[in-house]
Structure 1
Amino acid sequence: MNTTLSLADQIARELRADIIGGRLLPGMALVENDLVKAYSASRNTIREALHRLGQEGLTRYVRHKGVMVRRLDMGEVRDLFVVRRTLELQAIASSKPLSVDQSERMDNAIDATTLAREREDWRAVATHSLTFHQQIVGLLCSPLFDEFFAQVIAQLRLVFCAAPDEQRFQSPWLERDREIYALLVRGDKPAAGEAMSLYLDDSERLSLALFAHP
Structure 2
Amino acid sequence: MTSVDALASLGRARALVLRTTTAERVADAVREEVVEGRLRPGERLPEQAVCTALGVSRNTVREALSQLVAERVLVREANRGVFVAQPDRDAVRDVYRVRRLVEPAAVLSGEAWDAERVATVRAAVDEGRRAADTGDWAGVGSANQHFHRALVALAGSPRLDQQMALLLAEMRLVFHRVPDVREFFEPYLGRNDVICGLLEDGDRERAAREVTEYLAAAEAQLLAAYDPR
TM-score range, shorter chain: over 0.9
The gaps in structure 2 that reach 5 residues or longer are 1-15
**What pairs up with 1:117-156 in 2 under 5 angstroms?**
117-156=132-171
Task: Please give the alpha-carbon distance, in whole angstroms, between the structure 1 residues aligned to 2:162 and 2:147.
Answer: 15
Query: Which residue type is aligned with residue 50 of structure 1?
Result: L
Residue pair 1:97, 1:185 contacting (<8 A) in 2 also: no
Query: Which residue type is aligned with residue 134 of structure 1?
Result: R
Query: Which residue type is aligned with residue 91 of structure 2?
Result: E
Is residue 103 from structure 1 mapped to residue 118 from structure 2 by the alignment?
A: yes
Aligned to 2:130: 115
Residue pair 1:105, 1:135 contacting (<8 A) in 2 also: yes
Residue pair 2:121, 2:147 contacting (<8 A) in 1 also: yes
Pick which of 19-28 and 100-109 moved more. 100-109
Residue pair 1:32, 1:46 contacting (<8 A) in 2 also: yes
Task: Please give the alpha-carbon distance, in whole angstroms, between the structure 1 residues aligned to 2:19 and 2:67.
Answer: 17
Inter-CA distance 79–109: structure 2 relative to 1 (3 Å threshold): same
Is residue 39 from structure 1 mapped to residue 42 from structure 2 by the alignment?
A: no
4+ long deviations beyond 6 Å:
none
**What pairs up with 1:9-88 in 2 under 5 angstroms?**
9-88=24-103
- Partner of 1:45, secondary structure, is helix
Task: Please give the alpha-carbon distance, in whole angstroms, between the structure 1 residues aligned to 2:149 and 2:18.
Answer: 23
**What pairs up with 1:201-212 in 2 under 5 angstroms?**
201-212=216-227
The gaps in structure 1 that reach 5 residues or longer are none
Aligned to 2:195: 180
Inter-CA distance 4–94: structure 2 relative to 1 (3 Å threshold): farther
Is residue 169 from structure 1 mapped to residue 184 from structure 2 by the alignment?
A: yes
Task: Please give the alpha-carbon distance, in whole angstroms, between the structure 2 residues aligned to 1:53 and 1:97.
Answer: 29
